[in-house]
Amino acid sequence: TAVRRSTQYLAELQLQGHAFVHIMLFEYDAAGMLLGHHLIGETALGKKPERVFRRRIVTGGSTAFVRIAVEHRGVSSVRIRRASLAAL
């Protein structure tokens, strides 16, 4: 997703499943080169039928694009019902 540099965003993911998930943010420059990535959160799924994950993020001074990844391991399942990224 294209973003503005040094701008605050709200990332929101509506998740379902039975898993422990890590949510990662990947930042890229205008040429598509990876600038870096980091863990922006983790959560357990399964006790509630659905969980909404929200996190404020600030893009870097050279960031032109971001990607958010949801990772799970082992015998587990995750469904991303909705995902959004909105400037604040």
Tens of each residue's pLDDT in the chain, 88 residues: 999 999 999 999 999 999 999 999 999 999 999 999 999 999 999 878 899 999 999 999 999 999 999 999 888 999 999 999 999 9
According to the model, what pLDDT value does residue 49 have? 80
Q: What is the dihedral of CA 51, 56, 29, 68, to 10 degrees?
A: -10
